[in-house]
A = this chain, B = another copy of it.
Amino acid sequence: MEQDRWSTGGEFLTFIYAFDNRYEKAPKELRDLLGGKGANLAEMTSVLGLPVPHGFTITTDACRSYLDSGWPSGLDEELEAAVVELERRMEKRLGDRENPLLVSVRSGAKFSMPGMMDTVLNLGLNDESVIGLADQTSDERFAYDSYRRFLHMYARIVLGIPSDEFDRLFDAAKELANVETDAQVPAELLRYLVSAYKTIIETTTGSPFPQEPMVQLRQAIEAVFSSWNGARAVAYREREGIDHRLGTAVNVQAMVFGNRDDNSGTGVGFTRDPSTGERGMFGDFLVNAQGEDVVAGVRNTDPLSSIAKRFPDVYDELVEIFQRLERHYRDMCDTEFTIEQGKLWMLQTRVGKRGGSAALKMAVDMTTEPEILLTREEALLRISADHLDQVLHPQFSNAEFAVLARGLGASPGAAVGKVYFDADEAVAAARRGESVILVRKETSPDDVHGMLAAEGVLTTRGGLVSHAAVVARGWGKPAVVGADSIRISERSFVVGSKTVVEGDVISIDGTTGNVVLGAVPLTSAEPPEEFQTLLSWADELRGDRVLVRANADTGRDAEVAREFGAEGIGLCRTEHMFLAEDRLPIVRRMILADTAADESDALEELRVAQRDDFLAILTAMDGLPVTVRLLDPPLHEFLPNTEELAVKDASVGLTAEEHKLYQASRAWKEVNPMLGTRGVRLGVIKPGLYEMQVRALLEAARICCDRGGHPVIEIMIPLTVTREELSLARSWVTGVLETMDTRGITVTVGTMIETPRAALRSDEIAEYAEFFSFGTNDLTQMTLGFSRDDVEGKMMATYIDQGLLPANPFKTIDIGGVGELVRLGVTRGRSTRPGLKIGICGEHGGDPASIEFFVAAGLDYVSCSPFRVPIARLAAAHALIALESEDGLPSQLSR
């Protein structure tokens, strides 16, 4: 093997790569080995030849080896050699009293991880080198302040000692000196602080602060390695689905000082505007300052253009570097740089984060910029679901705000309005022209008109598939649910010590789950022109390989879905038609019917009403498939709550009508309604119900057809468990079809696959099904034994925090369990009926990570709420690109 790695004295290093190593392939592709930070430092140094302070990266291999079996043998020798080489290049020595070398030690995993140890600066300072630093800089105060900061940082980050006592002593020093700012503390007092800090360290750890720089360095490296398994880092990885085996790299780099004098400075810069996407450099700069001063926002920063005046040569160099970075990374880059005594040093770069509009604009722009020329696929991969969400919904602008409470972000976008606690009041206020936020413990069908009138919805109970969440998402209306620190009582709510009364203004962010007192300024939600361009590219790429449909229950929903590009309806829930205010009494009459004639009368009334509903939907979706699910929920959902009636019975008494309802509610009440009399089981006990629905649907299709339309109907049976159930249900449908004129109407019959048994026995069920639609909500509930109503709010957070689940399985599909059933369902279903059309209509149909799985599993379409359709179109395109490539890029991008 050619010895093409950086080495000292002819020695070959195993665990350490210098930034200017001769790499066999582009180091930016070596993030697995070097971590993200190290890979980019090496890229800038060895490939681009940019001015980067010398340094080296200790690899993730070394970290893994350390975690498995302690400090790797040979690493000490390698470290020694690497430091010697670093000292040679910098012409300085660690710990030297004359000309000391200082280094930074920074963790750097493959993926950025806020839960880990980050940076120790100024390592190498000790009682000797601090004198050298004072000499070098001719600034004793600067030197001792650096030493003081280093001791504190070292104690906190490397030794894990709490900051309290360090802070207390520093405050005492400021008091003693009678000064306001940290920078005013004189060198003398800083010497005392240094001494006191060393004492704290010795008292707390039992050992003196290590004067030997190589000991400091080794301790710092060990601390970085160990931080990989810190509780916060582990929890973060669990949450983000990052592999625990990756390990972190450690970057050791010579320090440069932007705060050395007025001929120095530091800045952060983007190669184009990260919030608009406009070309041209963008960032902040401060003369005579360190990086943290820029970030902390204590001093007012200058724009990058200010560098042109003070450092014209550096400015030109920076412009050129920015251009080279963009060309090289073929993307907008984010950088940190320092000017030390007039010389520019690049400290870090990475592909920069950006807002939604900017992401869209840059992706499209870069397909035509000659120096970048992205392909359309590459452009699509630059866009994430979050980017689309940001341009589809208003967002909190960047203004500062104090979070009042936090819930689950259940329906994206932000809203501002006056608080109302009652649906009727909300409607009245909206009629008066007020913007309204409806606040409820939880919502029920009785609140639907209030939700419609409101700008946004806030509940204190329930999870991501609670009634409020599902309805709000269906309308694209912002919602925060399960904000359980809020206590509602009558016409006000309390959070901690704050009381909010009816009419007070609050702001909610349905993306983050934040609730804010007062009005936060919102960004507008007009998608830029690039939105349509990119989605049309996504559609081209998809062709008919994976279609995107919408879940829509009304003609209005269907119209919206079509505008957003839905290629059909994957789930039309007929129960929502039953819950309309004018229908509920009829539904109750049907349930309470004493005679077959009464039941049949009620069904007849419902038939007429449902026909009109269906007609609106079929008209809006003309020519595209519409999957209609026959009635699914347990009948007691249409009846009042038994406990409320029991209480009323015991106190003021019930009317005759209420008494009858109470009896029926009790009769239909179930211990576990989720696993009770619902779905096709309703059909089995009330076959007239399903026949009525099929008749209403076909009558609507007839009218649609006679008006010149082309209705395409898919009748879907819910909650099937056995082949025999579906065979029976199918016979009801065909029984009705035989009595109708179906010319010009395309009708197929299929089933939901939403019980584990249906997935396992899909081979048998496919005998009677022309299509399958996976109901992954219920399938998740049953496969994991997690009632979403009960578990999602209470247990889920604990489960994810403790790493018992990698993610909320109601949001992102549980591939090991539910996904396994989906795969079995697809394979076995198609073993009976090759080419069986299979889709998915659970909440997961709008989740990019889940869509990636569904596409890989061979599904023909995904169906999601109308407002998620654009996201699903993009995610499906991503998934197809991933299927065809091997490096699984989309998984990373969608993170």
User: Which residues of A does B touch, CB under 8 Å?
Assistant: 642-643, 646-651, 670-677, 681, 684-685, 719, 721-722, 724-725, 728, 754-757, 760-761, 764, 778, 781-787, 789-791, 794-795, 798-799, 802-805, 814, 816-818, 820-821
Contacts and interface: CB of A to CB of B under 8 A. Distances in A.
A485 to B, nearest CB: 15
A783 B785 contact: no
A721 to B, nearest CB: 5
Contacts of A651: 650-651
A787 B721 CA distance: 13
A200 B818 CA distance: 63
A497 to B, nearest CB: 21
A721 B785 CA distance: 8
A804 B730 CA distance: 13
Contact of A728 (B671, B722, B725, B804): B804
Contacts of A672: 672-675, 781, 787, 789-790
Nearest to A649: B647
27 contacts: A646-B646, A646-B647, A647-B649, A670-B787, A671-B674, A672-B674, A672-B675, A672-B787, A675-B790, A676-B787, A677-B790, A677-B795, A681-B791, A681-B795, A684-B799, A721-B785, A722-B816, A725-B804, A728-B802, A755-B785, A756-B782, A756-B821, A760-B783, A760-B816, A760-B820, A761-B820, A782-B785
B817 A724 contact: no
Contacts of A642: 643
Contact of A817 (B685, B761, B804): B761
B756 A817 contact: yes
Contacts of A725: 804
Contacts of A789: 670-672
A477 to B, nearest CB: 24
Nearest to A719: B785
Contact of A804 (B673, B724, B756): B724
A23 B734 CA distance: 48
A785 B790 contact: no
Q: Which 7 A-B pairs have the closest CB atoms?
A: A757-B817, A675-B787, A672-B787, A671-B789, A676-B790, A756-B756, A650-B651
Contacts of A755: 783-785
Given A677-B794, A728-B802, A790-B672, A821 B760 contact: yes
A207 B820 CA distance: 62
Contact of A756 (B648, B670, B676, B783): B783
A647 to B, nearest CB: 4
A764 B817 CA distance: 11
Nearest to A820: B760
A173 B259 CA distance: 126
A676 to B, nearest CB: 4
A847 to B, nearest CB: 19
A757 B728 contact: no
A484 to B, nearest CB: 11
Nearest to A805: B722
Given A674-B674, A721-B817, A756-B756, 7 more contacts: A648-B650, A650-B651, A675-B790, A677-B791, A684-B802, A721-B786, A764-B816
Contact of A791 (B643, B646, B676, B795): B676
Given A643-B642, A671-B674, A672-B789, A757 B778 contact: no
Contacts of A761: 816-817, 820
A798 B724 CA distance: 13
Contacts of A650: 647-648, 650-651
A33 B814 CA distance: 51
A398 B207 CA distance: 92
A675 B757 contact: no
Contact of A795 (B684, B724, B782, B817): B684
Contacts of A821: 756, 760
B724 A814 contact: no
A679 to B, nearest CB: 8
Contacts of A684: 795, 798-799, 802, 804
Contacts of A786: 675, 721
A784 B755 CA distance: 6
